[in-house]
Structure 1
Amino acid sequence: MSPDRRGPLVVAHRGASAAMPEHTLAAYELALEEGADGLECDVRLTRDGHLVCVHDRTVDRTSTGTGVVSEMTLEELAEFNYGTEDEPAELLELSALIALTLDWSARPVKLFIETKHPVRFGGLVESKVLAELQRFGIAAPPSADHSRAVVMSFSAGAVWRIRRSAPMLPTVLLGESARYLGGGAATTVGATAVGPSVKTLHEHPDIVDKAAAAGRATYCWTVDNRSDVELCRELGVSWVATNHPGRTKKWLAS
């Protein structure tokens, strides 16, 4: 997860989600076309054990339906429209997003997968994610820099489960607290990177240097303003998650 010499690499937060409905195939395809270096998604388990790309506990905000993701089957969730009335979109499964990432031939792209917690399935989420990555042959990369997938979570326990089962797979411990990220939590679980919010970065800019001194990269979210992009570049942030991947790439190239 080494940073680019010109500045941070750009991760499309739920795809190019400022322009297209989040977590839709169209949002991720646009992000790739705009030059994103990485794609970010949130994953949850359906009642029948399928990994789907949905941020919220329910689908009420992002679809035409209603209900709790973990209480519904894949078939039930697939009945809803996750796009717009003019441009409908299907529910996106993690497997389809992995395939899109690996099939993109223009340049290597990393997939940043965030597991949501607390959830009713507990650690089964991480087990399912690892099984899916194994199915695609990317669960055991030769090194963190050459990995095509990164697993992230606000849950230290989730990061620890990934590190224990797939020690070569890069991980990000996400958090709002500089004390949490800069303290012993990241060391205890073996995270290869820390993930502060841009608000936390403003309040504690030294978090980047402290992470680097411990051999960790920094992943900052959600970076949509030009001044925040410049701050990340000045501080040496490795990856920035943004809803505007194309615009952010242009800013960094200027």
Structure 2
Amino acid sequence: MTATTPSLRTARTTRVVAHRGASHEHPEHTLEAYRKAIADGADALECDVRLTRDGRLVCVHDRTVERTSDGRGVVSAMTYEELCAFDFGGWKGEEHRGARVLLFEDLLKEALAADRPVGLAVETKHPTRAGGRLEAELVRLLKEYGLADGADGRVEVMSFSRNALTRLHRLAPGLPAVYLVERAVRPPRPPFAGHAGPGIDLVRRDPGLVGRLRAKGLRVRVWTVDEPEDVELCVRLGVETIITNRPRQVREQLEAM
């Protein structure tokens, strides 16, 4: 079987990772979104983490809070208490109003409390004034919960930053690492990164990239895959993991293939 031949087994074993939760329907990075993703059958939950001014690890994608809250300001310049004053749900609709900024630790507890194994794919966001303190706090917290050795594969770490992945490897060498890829030309990947993560736009333009990455011994995950034709493309190319805002729809499509 070639990498470009559709495979029933490949479709059924493709992992589905919920991008910031079930974020097509619910405000991203909220417990509401992640609980829905778990209910929708996601294999893992993707999140972005940043460090507040007082050293708390929060799930926020952007450098600032304007897009996803009713507040203003830079995440790293504010304390957790200051962030808690903002509404992180109302931008998605009145029915979601009142959501607070999500602590990574609370998301971790939610995943661990699920009635089945649910993984976490954690992206550390850079550049940031926190620098290496971001990775240090993430690993400290994972060690507290016995998850930093990577033995059960429950937690994976991701970044576009080679330096960030290098720091994570030094702090917790057992954690699976994913080198995210946004453009065709990238610096050499960290040698310890066993996964590559190209975006769907790049895969559409250059489908052969997936085969070249796999030929280097890398597992491939593609983000952010929401359209049925893109799901089909990923399965056809042998992509192991799909990151999506629509975990239920993607899971149902894969099960029907």
Same fold (TM over 0.5): yes
Deviations 1:101-126 (A, max 9, x none): 11112x21110001111111111111
Whole-Å separation in 1 of the counterparts to 2:40 and 2:73: 33
Aligned 1:92-171 pairs, distance under 5 A: 92-105=102-115, 107-142=116-151, 146-171=152-177
Q: Which amino acid is 2:161 matched to? A: S
TM-score by length of 1: 0.92
Secondary structure in 1 aligned to 2:135?
A: helix
Query: How far has the Cα of 1:7 moved from its partner?
Result: 4.5
Where does residue 177 of structure 1 map in the other structure? 183
TM-score by length of 2: 0.91
Deviations 1:183-232 (A, max 9, x none): x622x342110110001111222222222222221110000000000011
Whole-Å separation in 2 of the counterparts to 1:91 and 1:78: 6
Whole-Å separation in 2 of the counterparts to 1:219 and 1:40: 12
Q: 1:66 to 1:189 in 2, by over 3 A?
A: farther
2:250 to 233, 248, 251: 248
Whole-Å separation in 1 of the counterparts to 2:169 and 2:234: 27
**Is the CA contact 2:195–2:220 (under 8 Å) kept in the aligned structure 1?**
yes
Whole-Å separation in 2 of the counterparts to 1:130 and 1:215: 26
Structure 1 unmatched ranges of 5 or more: none
Is 1:32 matched with 2:38?
yes
Q: Which amino acid is 1:161 matched to? A: R
